[in-house]
Structure 1
Amino acid sequence: MKDHNYQAARRSFLRTAAAVGIGTAGVALGSPLTASPVLAAEHEEETHGFVGRKKTNFTLDHKTFFFAGTNNYYLHYDSHFMIDDVLTSAAALGLKVIRLWGFIDGKDANGFVMQPTPGVYPEEGYERFDYTVWKAGKLGLKLVVTLTNNWDAFGGMDQYTAWFGSTKHDDFYTNQHIKAAYKNYIQHFVQRKNRYTGRLMKHEPAIMTWELGNEPRCESDPSGNTLLHWADELSRFIKKLDSRHLVAVGDEGFYNEPGNPDWARAGISGVDWKRLIALPAIDYGTFHLYPNDWGKDATWAVQWIKDHIHDAHAAGKPAVLEEFGWRDLATRDAIYRSWTDTVYQEGGNGDQFWILTGLQDDGTLYPNYDGYRVTRSDSTASVLSAHAAQMNAKSGKHGKDE
């Protein structure tokens, strides 16, 4: 199954919000959660080959780690040939990090399913994921693994709510049976053995980060409290299972400033980015950027990048622009150059464009379903490769917090 309508589904709300200029009335925010001394401790004692964090820097083998990277959603179910083509292209471009999905719930994708029903985890459903981790390790790539989806592609949160008889998306964050099922899946995922490396996933150095979800939102609670408490609970749970890997929320970076005329900052999605990045078991802040779908322009995007890097560093955490896209091919190269230069100049820790694709089994290019496709031979790939060289050259040097 190809994820043909993914981008349209995931951003339909945003297009509506941008068109009508949605705002909210003032909403009182809850008090910050109390930090746990254990969970707040940074990764001072690194294990060789694992990406860690020291204050506002990522670290790798006791050196700072800055990166340019990408995303791809078919690495956990398509052929070895297609996986190899994407991963080798990423390495050739100098990219260091790839974000991918770590779930296929309910219906299969190309014959692979990781959880057909709650608590059932067929080993054959994980073969492509295992292969991707093995191959990434061979190529020196790091992986950000997202464990569920706010949208319905590959099952995600809506599949969990359907399994347990709920018609409300946001029950995913509060229903105890659903939360238990998701925790069981996470526990199985991080503790299972990779058939190609012989290591448990929690011992895989090719994995950089476990992400709580792809673009989680909780629109029924614009205060942000529901999502905040869920992220706190789940991130602590993962840290108890696996203290080596980083944990991130995977959200879009929406601010919660009730009454702000900019809908992306007004709190309408139930996301409160500043409080999320302050959680003790969250290692870094993620933010996304799709001006074409958000009713914004490329200039607005530059300030969006600056604000998130500044705010994350002020909170003592790294910041990663982990998804970004611009559809107009006539202007895309110049705009990507502007955005990635901003990340570099402002001290951002990493960025990951959407989406690097490659060849299919028949030798043709993977279709440009959402208009954001980048392939190794594109002029855009040259722009991103030059940026990757800048970020790679910055790695290994002492940062301001070293």
Structure 2
Amino acid sequence: MAVYVKSIDAKHLVEIGLEGFYGPSAPERAQFNPNSYATQVGTDFIRNHQALGVDFASVHIYPDSWISQTISDAHLQFTKSWMEAHIEDAEKYLNMPVLFSEFGVSSKDPGYNSSFRDKFFSTVYNTLLNSTKKGGSGAGSLFWQLFPEGTEYMNDDYAIVLSKSPSTSNIISLHSTRLAIFDSLCSRKCKWGCKKKGGLDTFLYRDEL
């Protein structure tokens, strides 16, 4: 299908849209899967993304669905190792950027609070910034999901309404600002990002701008 799409529109970016579970092509990476079931669902992050016509890798992050619905720091530890493993594999085996195309935490989870959601978002963003700083393959992230006011009736318990979530909104805004600053300094000749140092550290890791 990827090749077919390319035959119609050679400039159309194609991705697969899988969760990112590791399969039989890389049994040593199965340690990063959230549970034993993940190896049995028929997906294989590395092998699937080696298909001709696929332009970038995509991964989801839902530790509250995959590990336990009860909120704990284990979710944050998993998120960091899960992301770092996929960033490494995108560089080492796939030679393509990786987008964390869905991530979130349900407000219905036992022990949920907005403070944990902020920690979760910060973990995702800081892990990506570490890749950005090195000119790595971490290409971006899309949280699930953004709702405007008045549409909350469609909320699947993962939704964020910016005006009603000021602390999370600030974290999202700060991350966006950091990326915009980085982009303005980055050489377009870089493969995925800019390897410049010095002032970048200040822009990327200050708590406030």
When the two structures are superposed, what TM-score results if normalisation uses the length of structure 1? 0.38
Residue in structure 1 matching 2:130, options 336, 345, 355: 345
**Alignment of 1:304 onto 2:90:** no
Residue in structure 1 matching 2:59, options 279, 287, 290: 287
Q: Distance in 1 between matches of 2:148 and 2:22?
A: 35
Alignment of 1:117-132 (within 5 A): none
**Alignment of 1:236 onto 2:8:** no
> Residue 352 of structure 1: CA displacement?
0.3
Specify the alignment match of 2:158 in structure 1.
372
4+ residue runs over 6 A deviation: none
> Residue 344 of structure 1: CA displacement?
1.4
Cα 1:276–1:351 shift into 2, 3 Å = same
> Residue 393 of structure 1: CA displacement?
2.0
**Alignment of 1:318 onto 2:97:** yes
Aligned length: 165
**Alignment of 1:393 onto 2:181:** yes
Q: Gaps spanning 5+ residues in structure 1: where?
A: 1-233
Cα 1:265–1:275 shift into 2, 3 Å = farther
Query: What CA RMSD, in Å, does the superposition of the two structures yield over aligned residues?
Result: 2.2
Match of 1:246, SS?
coil
> Residue 265 of structure 1: CA displacement?
8.2
Write out per-residue CA displacement over residues 3-41 of structure 1, whole angstroms, 9 at most, x where no aligned residue.
Answer: xxxxxxxxxxxxxxxxxxxxxxxxxxxxxxxxxxxxxxx
Q: Distance in 1 between matches of 2:6 and 2:123?
A: 36
Contact 1:325–1:353 (CA<8 Å) still a contact in 2? yes
Contact 2:102–2:144 (CA<8 Å) still a contact in 1? yes
Between structure 1 and structure 2, the one with the greater Rg is: 1
Specify the alignment match of 1:155 in structure 2.
none
**Alignment of 1:270 onto 2:42:** yes
User: Identical aligned pairs, as a percentage?
Assistant: 27
Specify the alignment match of 2:117 in structure 1.
332
Q: Distance in 2 between matches of 1:274 and 1:241?
A: 26
Q: Distance in 2 between matches of 1:300 and 1:293?
A: 12
Match of 1:392, SS?
helix
Q: Distance in 2 between matches of 1:306 and 1:391?
A: 19
Contact 1:322–1:353 (CA<8 Å) still a contact in 2? yes
Q: Distance in 1 between matches of 2:180 and 2:12?
A: 21
Cα 1:391–1:401 shift into 2, 3 Å = same
When the two structures are superposed, what TM-score results if normalisation uses the length of structure 2? 0.71
Alignment of 1:2-401 (within 5 A): 234-257=1-24, 260=30, 262=33, 263=35, 267-295=39-67, 297-314=75-92, 315-327=94-106, 328=112, 329-347=114-132, 348-359=138-149, 364-367=150-153, 369-377=155-163, 378=165, 379-396=167-184, 397-398=186-187, 400-401=190-191
Q: Distance in 2 between matches of 1:338 and 1:266?
A: 22
Greater fraction of residues in helix: 2
